[in-house]
Chains A and B, each alone.
Chain A
Amino acid sequence: MPIFILRRFAVLALALLVVTFLVFLIPYIGETDPVRALARARFGRLDLDAATIEALRLELGMHRPLIVQYLDWLRSAVTGDFGNSYMSREPVVEQVWSALKVSVVLTLASLGFAFAVAVPAGSIAALRQGGSFDMATKSLSQAFVAVPEYWLAPMSILVFALYLGWLPSAGWRGPESVILPALALSLRPMGYFTQVMRASMIDVLNSPHIVAAHSRGLSVRRTLIAHGLRNALLPVITLFSVWMAGLLGGAVVIEVIFAVPGMGRLVYSAIVNGDIPVLQAGLVAIVTLAVVINTVTDLAYTVLNPVVRIDNATA
């Protein structure tokens, strides 16, 4: 087990090294010249003479070899220093940190809700395959998957905020402002989770060890909980982690419509404004989280599925 974890961490570190290098390269491969972007932000105009640009280039240290610049950048990045935003002149880390907190809350709220609905719904649908509950679940989950967020979000504002007046229509102040965006964000993953849960539960219910459990006198419910759930959850956990990594990187549509100051809006405006330090720090945060979530999922897998645990420890 420890060997397995150590190996996972080595892979994690390598992945981060590669990704940070790619993120570092952004100013050199993008269309935006970082020097011009900074100049525009600082002086408010673009028609600057060559001497000023050159001075800025020296100031940014961009005359040095690429690898030196990368190591320098990485050293600061590790200590949490990604420089200051070209736009607000404030430290980038603080901006990313506050956006990240918002995104984490939004992601956990929406995916947690989706998971909590999908697991029982998918299981019951699988147990009563072909029944009316199954049919209802099937149509609803398909509808949830198909409905685009840019339609759902304004509609939910229209109904719950403007018509019923139950919830705030936008902004990020207090728990009640989380509900609408989280709800709007949860329907698509809920639809996918339910479909995967149903399919995998049907698979598990047809597997021989369920028949054996029944033959010992276990009721359908007991068999489902003791021998069905854990096996059937594995694919849903995988899907959950994929969605989590995706949503932490920002749900741009929802964040823009509900005026939520999350990662999506932060990165989006950094791209639009050519605010390279914010973009770099945001991407590093997103990628790090994705890699960490992947690793945690792998570890969760080994807890749920002992076959994986042993194979990896002995390999």
Chain B
Amino acid sequence: MLANQTTVQHQLRPEVCAPVLEVEHLTVGVPGVGAIINDLNLTIRRGEVLALVGESGSGKSMTARSLMRLMPSGISILEGSVRICGEEVLSLPEDKFNEYRGARIAMLFQQPHVMLDPTCTVGAQAGEALHVHQHLTAEEEHERVVQLFRDVGIPEPEERMKCYPHQMSGGMAQRVMIAAALSADPDLLIADEPTTALDVTVQAQILQLLDRKRRERNLSILLITHDLSVVSAIADRVAVMYSGEIVEQGTTDEILHSPKHPYTQSLIHCSLLQADESGELYAIPGTPPELLSKIPGCRFRSRCQVAEKWGHPEVCSRVAPPMVEHGGPGCCARCWVGASNDIQAQAIRICQTELEGHRDGC
């Protein structure tokens, strides 16, 4: 009830246009067992780069796979809505949704080498989306792939098209994947850690390439990463994910410079790689909870160092915080601490009623 009252609609930047991707209350998990991704809300506008950050196992990649409807077997979408350019896609049958994959919504992966079929030339693979969605003749398709390869910075495209994946470097393979993903001119690119497996200089080139494509085609990008320097380089907005939930969302500037959620603060602290007085590097204490486990209250509670300092730590352990506006407009976080006095008062009241109910029950 409280969640409904206080969930804040993401404040939209006035200068950006229609949303390309709208995700509402997306819950993904094992039917009958539990959720891996819980009540996820995201909006990406045309030409916008939204970074989804968080540590390994927080559900970032699962979010990407769910949006493509390519979850591992056993995992399914339990509820929610996903709209691409205003059209609801979760209810579409598989063959209808295939018309979206590659054409409207495309994906880049972490390890380009294993994502390419070793027995098939890279040219053939890069032309596949074109072949399926645009019904070109073989010559037209070849021509287009040559252009695409040249466009993403692959030298000697005619020659390289005949190569097999193992004959290419990681950076070149990722360029092939980008060419393949962008070939049918999608509206949204989901890039799942596209630079993590590459060395730093190549990383920068790939990010530049993605940024250029975004500007040239007004491409929207959901960039999944755990690297905050990548975030600061190209993202407009950031969503921070922890244990299957988005815990904070806001503009890149706000998130990186004045994070509200204790988890975001710890994450940024970690990324600075600064040693404390004793010479130890900072690490967030503890480990994230099991993804499928049900936890009353805040999922970050057991590792949170802020809750203790707040006057009402019992509230954090008992009442799950909703996404509430923190500080500036468009910035919200899933944390009681730092929320407005009204909201805090409500939370404390709920907690007390619950405790009393408990006592009465006994």
Q: Tell me the minimal C-beta distance from B119 to chain A in angstroms.
A: 5
A217 to B131, CA, bound (A): 10
Within 8 A of B (CB), among A93-121: none
Cα–Cα distance between A230 and B118 once the two chains are bound (Å): 10
**Is A215 an interface residue when CB atoms closer than 8 A count as contact?**
yes
Chain A residues whose CB sits within 8 angstroms of the CB of B68 once the complex forms: 214-215
- The residues of B with any CB-CB pair to A shorter than 8 Å are 65, 68, 70, 94-95, 98-103, 106-107, 109, 111, 114-120, 125, 128-129, 132-133, 164, 166-167, 177, 180-181, 184
Q: Is the CB of B114 within 8 A of A207?
A: yes
Other A-B pairs, 7, CB within 8 Å; known A216-B181, A217-B98, A218-B98: A215-B107, A216-B132, A217-B100, A220-B94, A230-B119, A306-B166, A307-B118
Interface residue range, chain A: 20 to 34
**Chain A, range 170-224, C-beta contacts under 8 Å to B:** 207-209, 211-220, 222
Q: Taking the complex as formed, is A227 at the interface, i.e. its CB lies under 8 A from any CB of chain B? A: yes
Complex contact A212–B109 (CB within 8 A): yes
* CB-based contact B117/A227 at 8 Å: yes
A305 touching B101 by the CB < 8 A rule? Answer: no
- The interface residues of chain B lying within 8 Å CB-to-CB of A217 are 98-103, 129, 132-133, 184
B101, B118, B119, B167: the one contacting A215 at CB < 8 Å is: B101
Question: When the two chains form their complex, are residues A209 and B115 in contact, meaning their CB atoms are under 8 A apart?
Answer: yes
Cβ-based interface call for A87 (8 A) = no
**Which B residues are in CB contact (< 8 Å) with A306?**
118-119, 164, 166
**Which residues 218-261 of A sit at the B interface, judged by CB distance below 8 A?**
218-220, 222, 226-227, 230-231
Please, which residue of chain A has its CB at the minimum distance from the CB of B184?
A217
Q: Report which A residues bind B (CB closer than 8 A).
A: 207-209, 211-220, 222, 226-227, 230-231, 304-307, 310
- Check B116 against A212 for contact (C-beta < 8 Å): yes
On whether A310 and B164 interact (CB within 8 A), knowing A231-B117, A231-B118, A231-B119, the answer reads yes
A212, A220, A222, most chain B CB atoms within 10 A? A212
- Determine the chain B residues whose CB is within 8 A of the CB of A230 once the complex forms: 119-120
User: Could you write out 10 A-B pairs with CB less than 8 Å apart?
Assistant: A213-B125, A214-B70, A214-B101, A215-B101, A218-B98, A218-B128, A227-B117, A227-B119, A230-B120, A306-B164
Q: Is the CB of A216 within 8 A of B119?
A: no
B102 touches A215 (CB 8 A): yes
Partner among A219, A227, A307, A310 whose Cβ is within 8 Å of the Cβ of B98: A219
Say yes or no: B116 contacts A310, CB within 8 Å. no
A1: min CB distance to chain B, Å: 14
Nearest B residue to A233, CB-CB: B119
Alpha-carbon distance A208/B113, docked complex (angstroms) = 10
**Would A219 and B95 be within 8 Å (CB), given that A208-B114, A213-B117, A310-B164 are in contact?**
yes
Given contacts A217-B98, A217-B102, contact A305 B132 (CB under 8 A): no
* Nearest chain A CB to B130 CB, angstrom units: 9
- Contact residues in A for B115 (Cβ distance below 8 Å): 208-209, 211-212
Residues of B within 8 A of A219 (CB): 95, 98
Q: Output the least CB separation between B3 and chain A (Å).
A: 33
CB distance from B71 to the nearest CB of A (A): 10
Q: Do A307 and B166 contact each other (CB < 8 Å), given the known contacts A207-B114, A227-B117?
A: yes
Please pick, from B114, B118, B132, the residue contacting A218 in the complex, using a CB distance under 8 A: B132
Smallest beta-carbon distance B95→chain A, Å: 7
B84 to chain A, nearest CB (A): 13
Determine the chain A residues whose CB is within 8 A of the CB of B129 once the complex forms: 216-217
Report whether A310 and B166 are in contact in the complex, using a CB–CB cutoff of 8 Å. yes
Shortest distance from the beta carbon of A306 to any chain B beta carbon, whole Å:
4
For A208, list chain B residues within 8 Å (CB).
109, 111, 114-115
In whole angstroms, how far apart are the Cα atoms of A204 and B192 in the complex? 22
Taken together as a complex, chains A and B put the C-alpha atoms of A198 and B268 apart, in Å, by 48
- Name which residue of chain B comes closest to A304, CB basis: B119
A220 to B180, CA, bound (A): 18
* Assembled-state Cα–Cα distance A288/B138 (Å): 44
Tell me the complex Cα distance, A207–B165, Å: 15
Minimal beta-carbon separation of B185 from chain A (angstroms): 12
On whether the beta carbons of A213 and B119 are closer than 8 Å, the reply is no
Asked if B164 and A307 sit within 8 Å, CB to CB, the answer is yes
